[in-house]
Structure 1
Amino acid sequence: MEWTVHQLAQRAGISGRTLRHYHQIGLLEPDRIGSNGYRYYGRDAVARLQRILLLRETGMPLQDIATVLDTPVTPELEIEALAGHLEFLARERFALDRRINAVEHTLSMRRQGREPRMDVMLEGFNDRYETEVVERWGREAFDASNQWWHEKSFRQQKDWKARADALLARWREIHEEGHDIDSPVAQEHAAVHLEWFKEIPGTPTHTGDTAKSVDMIRGLAAQYESNPDFHIAFGTKEAAAFAANALRLHVRTLESLPRE
């Protein structure tokens, strides 16, 4: 049994133009072309078309579909191609989610009569420090924390940011209350600070790597002291320095633990 372009297109639920295009690019050859110039498709062509349409449903590019179908070891290659395409779609979804979060933020700000801000709500958790994070901890560490942040809704990002602000504000309160860095109050809050870090995927504290956790906390302590942005976040330069020294003291206890 053979089908013309019109007949096959009608049965497959596609247009005749699509079939002709598949022929032009070498993806689907007709079994024969009649003296009248009509293309005729037999059982083998129909079976190939069925696989083309199934793979096309996944969003796989036609060029990749052709590679899959024209290689003798079809099952293995098809699995590899589908796995690669799945990774591509995941990256696309990640990028789309970021744009959705940006629109949600802008919409929320507009509804409140406020101007949208290009701040941490639209950046990733650590976008601005990408190079430094990758150099210190590797690409996987950056991607893990960045994806964790962007998978949050705008409200979740806002709530998490509020918790972070409260954490830093508490350091200023402890400092202004006159506590020393080795006081129970300061060291208890240092422990809270470390637990907060553990929530963030990709950080050494999250994975339980003691040696790298100590290095990370010391590096952040130096940033707290030297970076004016952190002075603002803590409320004062003195509060930032107080927190830095209290954290340095606290992580000395971690150094006595077995290192991974």
Structure 2
Amino acid sequence: MRDSTDTSDAAAKAPHGIAEVARSAGVSSRTLRHYDAIGLLPATAVGDGGLRRYDDRALVRLQRILLLRGLGLGLPEIRRVLDGEQDDVTALTAHVTWLERERDRIARQLAAVRTTITRIEQGEDMNTTDTFDGFDQSKFKQEVSERWGADAWDRGASWWESKDATAKAAFQAEQRAIASDAAALAASGDGPASPAGDALARRQFAWLAEATPPTELTADRFRTLADMYVQDERFTHAYEWAGAGASRALRDAMHALADRGL
């Protein structure tokens, strides 16, 4: 049986009660108990009356959980990301970069919508530059056209627009899951040709093949895409938010698969 003094000391080192944490984080106490039960966010200590208590490190872990949930990751994927990346500062710094970019993009969209409202109210003419600032979904169009032909972008755009909201969400969720697997591979130290590396590369190939005709997704194109994940910061961040080294681990695994033959 645990000594009551030990229990009191442990609780004293965990100053944040479950009710306080739940209220501040905007989640329910039931959610925190569930996170504890599945090992995602263990309580630091259990105080008087069996109430869970948390220390500062637990608060940091919960912040990261909420950030990853906001990206659409499921709880098993979140646990793999957190358990594979022990450096909270590095992981949070990468996430800050992503959040800042999202903030800037949303700020531009907000300004564009406000401008539209003002012009409608005042009967002013619209212009495409102001109206669609922040909505630049074709920012990669030039690169795609230069690498794979003038109609490659249009085919991809048509494919995307043909999908309903559920299918689009599933496609995006799969990309995030691949990012978490890449981060786990980077943290594990396994090589790109290991079973985990092979599985990651094949999962990425299957994801890309959804939008690219099989005859066009050649080994050379697969390698080129892999290099872009490291060389172009816009692509890098699509994977690196999940953990340091994720984009490189994915690139190396893709190269290894291409070398063996797709």
TM-score between the two structures when normalised by the length of structure 2: 0.44
